[in-house]
């Protein structure tokens, strides 16, 4: 499937006025907030980009459907398949693992589930719920385990109503610049 950085910009431009299902922010604001949280934490450019684009599978597969739709169950896998040829594993793997990271955190940290938004708690069931001990062990052995956990935490925090200190065009320009930087240093 052919997928380009221009397609990505197009998807996020379309998403600029759509509310992220069940949450209080638009898809673009959510993506920007996650990227900004990663940047403020000193994350690598690849992890900043993964944070920006972690829900691209939602935007690509279900442009107008709610995230509880069963078809979106695989949005992490779909997003990672779209991103790997463009940006490599350092971007695609945290994206692929970010739903598993939520299931891992719910399983291993008692306080984590209490902080999830109602929408995120609802989608947990569709996403498979808690992990078994073996599944937790497998997940911890993933090369991008730590990055996936980080991304997941920013994903949960990036739902702040009213936090979008930028114009839509400037946000898209920032994304474009970040994609160019990562693609330039990516060896796939
Ligand atoms: Fe998200």
Q: What is the CATH number of the domain that holds 54?
A: 1.10.3210.10
Sites in the chain below the pLDDT cut of 50? 63-72
Ligand 1 centre to CA of 186 (Å) is 24
In a domain, 127, yes or no: no
Ligand 1 centre to CA of 174 (Å) is 18
Identify which of 18, 82, 26 has the alpha carbon closest to the alpha carbon of residue 54: 82
DSSP 8-state symbol, 42: T
In a domain, 116, yes or no: no
Ligand 1 centre to CA of 92 (Å) is 14
In a domain, 177, yes or no: yes
Residue 56 CA from chain centroid, whole number: 7
Ligand 1 centre to CA of 120 (Å) is 9
| Predicted local confidence at residue 188, as pLDDT | 59
Give tens-digit pLDDT for 45-95: 999 999 999 999 999 875 444 444 444 458 899 999 999 999 999 999 999
Ligand 1 centre to CA of 141 (Å) is 23
| Predicted local confidence at residue 70, as pLDDT | 47
**Total domain count for the chain?**
1
Expressed as residue numbers, the domain containing 162 is 5-97+151-185
In a domain, 110, yes or no: no
Within 10 A of 51 (CB to CB), how many other CB atoms are there? Answer: 30
| Predicted local confidence at residue 110, as pLDDT | 85
Ligand 1 centre to CA of 119 (Å) is 11
Residue 30 CA from chain centroid, whole number: 9
- Give the tokens for residue 107: 């399983």
């Amino acid at each position: 499937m052919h997928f380009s950085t221009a397609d990505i910009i197009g998807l996020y431009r379309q998403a600029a006025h759509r509310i992220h299902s069940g949450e209080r922010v638009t898809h673009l604001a959510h993506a920007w907030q996650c990227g900004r949280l990663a940047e403020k934490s000193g994350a690598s450019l690849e992890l900043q980009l993964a944070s920006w684009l972690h829900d691209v599978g939602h935007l690509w597969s279900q442009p107008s459907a709610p995230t509880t739709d069963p078809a979106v169950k695989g949005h992490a896998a779909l997003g990672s398949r779209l991103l790997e040829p463009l940006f490599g594993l350092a971007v695609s793997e945290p994206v692929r693992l970010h739903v598993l990271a939520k299931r891992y955190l719910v399983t291993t940290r008692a306080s984590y589930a209490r902080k999830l938004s109602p929408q995120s708690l609802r989608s947990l069931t569709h996403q498979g719920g808690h992990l078994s001990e073996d599944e937790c062990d497998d997940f911890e052995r993933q090369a991008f385990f730590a990055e996936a956990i980080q991304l997941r935490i920013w994903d949960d925090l990036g739902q702040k109503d009213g936090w979008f200190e930028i114009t839509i065009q400037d946000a898209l320009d920032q994304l474009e610049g970040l994609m160019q930087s990562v693609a330039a240093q990516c060896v796939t």
